[in-house]
Amino acid sequence: MQLSSAHPDIATSLIQQADLVESLLGMPLPDSVWSKPALMPTPDAYPSPYHHDQRAQSYQERQLALYCGYRISITLLHPRAGLDIKQWLGQSLSIHWHTGDTLLPSQTRHGIITEVVALGSNSGMAAYRIICEPSLSQLRLASHNRRHHHLSLSELITQIISPYDMNVEIDERLSDDSNYHIQHSVQYNQTDLAYLTQYLALYGVTGYYRHESDKHTLVLLASDGEILRLMPMTFKAP
């Protein structure tokens, strides 16, 4: 497995372990995923603006913790302890590995670092754990109060994500006012991710990520998209 990053400390680190969980947006995750607390977030990790007690979550509510699409946990080894790991937050990186599958010989995943922890050092090597997620995860960090009037779903999605540095492709059918028209909508003290998720789920929109070595692109599709019937439904852990 190879790791690429513009940050020199990350780029010169060795990968000790990497775990990946991913799904199509809105698709249920297997129960086995939730046995890895270091890898998977839970909804109570992102406090409710209404201060609700979120410790007891239903299975459906837990699924929304990964609605952004994928989450990668990587343990890195570096010869130096005490690195300024705060600088790692927001850095983009990509991982590349060979699968041994003749049909899909290699895989690439790209994302941004959203969490980093220094685990300690031993025998001259320091260990750091990073969490890498898609740019969509940034939307859970900001909440707004605003109104939207007479928009297509495509226009609403564009307005929500426009302040963020994201690569997005939206199915042109989501611009159809006859099927995806929003007459009036209020975002009240919701995170941008919760507000976006609300409408993606309401209209049955799903999506996937197209990964390249230097970027990832979120592709949003109507639920009856032809491409969905051609995609294999798999969960991979490198």
- Give the CATH number for residue 177: 3.55.50.10
Nearest alpha-carbon partner for 236 in 109, 61, 74: 109
pLDDT tens sequence across 186-195: 998 888 888 8
Tell whether the model's pLDDT for residue 5 goes beyond 80.
yes
Q: Give the chain's mean pLDDT.
A: 82
pLDDT tens sequence across 136-188: 988 888 888 999 989 999 999 999 999 998 999 999 889 988 888 899 999 98
Examine the domain organization and report whether 142 and 111 are in the same domain: no
Strands 215-221 and 206-212: antiparallel
Examine the domain organization and report whether 156 and 227 are in the same domain: yes
Does 171 fall in a domain? yes
Strand locations in 137-222 (E): 143-152, 167-170, 181-191, 206-212, 215-221
Examine the domain organization and report whether 123 and 218 are in the same domain: no
Phi and psi dihedrals of 92, rounded to 5?
A: -90, 150
Task: Report pLDDT for 234.
Answer: 42
Does 38 fall in a domain? no
Q: Which residues on adjacent β-strands are paired with residue 18?
A: 74
Does 20 fall in a domain? yes
Average pLDDT over residues 119-135: 91
Tell whether the model's pLDDT for residue 54 goes beyond 50.
no
Q: pTM for this one?
A: 0.81
Tell whether the model's pLDDT for residue 109 goes beyond 50.
yes
What is the Cα 170 distance to its own chain's centre?
A: 17
Tell whether the model's pLDDT for residue 32 goes beyond 90.
no
Task: Report pLDDT for 11.
Answer: 94
Does 200 fall in a domain? yes
User: CA 139, 142, 143, 147 torsion: positive or negative?
Assistant: negative
Q: Whole-angstrom Cα distance, residue 225 to residue 70?
A: 21
What is the Cα 31 distance to its own chain's centre?
A: 19
- Give the CATH number for residue 105: 2.30.110.50
Task: Report pLDDT for 177.
Answer: 80
Q: Whole-angstrom Cα distance, residue 141 to residue 21?
A: 21
**Counted domains in the chain:** 2
* 89, 116 Cβ separation under 8 angstroms: yes
Helix ranges restricted to H, the chain? 8-11, 59-63, 153-161, 192-202, 226-230
Examine the domain organization and report whether 127 and 187 are in the same domain: no
Examine the domain organization and report whether 156 and 222 are in the same domain: yes
Tell whether the model's pLDDT for residue 70 goes beyond 50.
yes
Element (H, E) at 14: strand 14-22
Tell whether the model's pLDDT for residue 1 goes beyond 80.
yes
Does 50 fall in a domain? no
Does 94 fall in a domain? yes
